[in-house]
Structure 1
Amino acid sequence: MRIFLAVYRSGSVTAAAAQLHLSQPAVSKQLRALELESGRPLFVRGPRGVVPTQEADRLAREVGPHLDALEGATARLVGRGTDATVHVGGPADLLSIAVAPALAAAPGAPRLRLHTGVADEVLDRLAADELDIAVAARPLRRPGVRQEPLFTETLVLVGNPAWAARLPAATLDAAPLAALADVPLVAFDEELPLLRRYWREVFGASLDAGAAVTLPDFRGVVRTVSAGAGVSVVPRYVAAGAIGRGELVELHAPSRRPRNPIALAFRPPALGRPGVEMVRALLRAAAAGWDR
């Protein structure tokens, strides 16, 4: 399994052999034995290395975190310690609300350094090899960076209970634009992208108003709306706690809410670093419950 992971993470039998101080034929022999045992191919061979199959992706997700944790435990046992620090990037609210708790509580998790920033900044740092892995709210392309779907966030229109009383669901269903015409808006940024998208996709109209308050952190948006400053559109996972406590109310429940894809981004060579594949697997597992 160590040989399999080394090939999977490096994308090369030759590189894995050098990393493990084995001969290339020995590594190839172990891979063939594993493929015979599993009854299906794990890699597609090509002129520039190997490409993992879906079966290899599944196997790496299952065994990678356990082998990383075992090697870390062994290193600590013999007093060598480990220099494995995984640098994770992403938006501040998503890192704070979902990513950090999911990673820090995992048994055998590596040391973590979380770096906040907007999607452009985070992906630039990832491409420059300053980060090991990142979550990005927009599918922006960078050379050498691979992106895979992580989860999809649902956008909700929220206000505090006082605004909910002034904007009953029946009124919003019947005449939403008139009902919201003079309501103060709280936004993540000056361009109001989520509000404009909600107006366009749910109400079928453009939004011409500006924001009464803008601040670049959804946690601050939620607290400001809870205090009664107006209404906003935010990802559901950000508002879930405040809704559960009765501080916020989802003002409108359309048949289809707008949704945003969130990607997990990394440079494939980084998966060979201690702990990075474990972080990737932990995030993929935890993200399944983030939008509920």
Structure 2
Amino acid sequence: MIDFEWYRSFISIYQHRSVSAAAKARILTQPAMSQHLAALEAEVGEPLFVRAPRKMIPTEKGKELYTKIVPLIENLEKMTLDIRFASGVDSAVPLIRIGSPSEYFTKGALSKLAHLEIRMSAVFDVAGVLLNALQKDDADLILTTQKVQMAGIEYVKIEDETFVLTVPGHFSASEEDVQDTEEWMNQQKWLSYGLELPIVRRFFRVHFGKRLEIQPYYIFPDLRTILEAIESGMGVSILPEYLIAESVKANKTKVMFSKLTVDNTIYAAYKVENKDNPYLQKIIMELQSNRN
């Protein structure tokens, strides 16, 4: 008799093209995954993969089996989750672990998710660390601006965030006073998330077609801290509109050269094997909404 877990291990190996990566994804040992695959191949009667150096290549029989069983397995898992989701019993609701940049989660995502009756745990970090957490199953869903193509990972667009040049509210200069925009910007004290001024350099490249030559005057690895520094008159920076909205309204900061903007796309990323999880899909749907 074929064990259901053999199928799940086969699907994971197929999607990751690696026994070791599939083992990490399923939180199993590599020998256990190999045993599952060997047992399934014995039942099927022929190899499902060609073992190549550092890669598992599906055979024609492997491709045929994957095509046939994936919809069945996904529907069965989805049915189980749907039953739990519809029951309304809190103890049956799994904890959804979300990774995100702290600023976006706090100012952009939290208000959209606040009304959901879904248990959530959030962790904040940079894109690379969050993607690694997703791969290791330390996160179920991550919000990121970096779309790194990787086997077994799927991305869905959430929204575009618009960045603008943000200056202290008491700034005496106005757009009309500036004769040379580029020269004026080069004279400012710039605050940045990192030494390489990632979004600032992109802003210059988009609008002036050249590489930025200035160095950051202050480096704070948190956009909210940068915003507070601007409010305190320490310098200028390129910040997302959602983050500065309240500050601008309170006249603590203002936008200079409002027509000069740069967009960043926010994506939700998750493992393909969890695509039909109704909790993840509900969270993604809410994040894509215009709810404030």
TM-score where L is the length of structure 1: 0.68
Encode CA deviations 1:53-91: one digit per residue, 9 max, x unaligned: xxxxxxx9xxxx9976532x1x25xxxx22510000111
Q: Take 1:289 and 1:245, find their aligned partners in 2: how far apart are those partners?
A: 22
Alignment match of 1:148 (pick from 156, 171, 177): 156
Equivalence for 1:268: 272
What pairs up with 1:50-199 in 2 under 5 angstroms? 69-71=85-87, 73=88, 75-76=89-90, 81-106=91-116, 109-163=117-171, 165-166=172-173, 168-172=174-178, 174-199=179-204
The one-letter code of the counterpart of 2:142 is A
> For 2:214 and 2:221, how far apart are their aligned partners in 1?
19
Structure 1 segments unaligned to the other structure (5+ residues) = 1-10, 12-45, 53-59
Cross-structure match for 1:237: 242
Unpaired segments of 5 or more residues in structure 2?
1-10, 12-62, 72-77
1:177 Cα deviation (Å)?
2.0
Taking the aligned partners of 1:202 and 1:246, their CA distance within structure 2 comes to 26
What is the 5 A alignment of 1:248-259? 248-254=253-259, 257-259=261-263
Q: How much does 1:267 deviate?
A: 0.8
Structure 1: how far apart are the matches of 2:128 and 2:264?
16
1:85-130 C-alpha deviation (Å, 9 max, x unpaired): 0000111111111222321222xx2111001111111111112221
Count of equivalent residues: 221
- Between the aligned residues of both structures, percent identity stands at 19
Q: Could you tell me which residue of structure 2 aligns to residue 227 of structure 1?
A: 232
**Please, what is the CA RMSD of the aligned residues?**
2.6
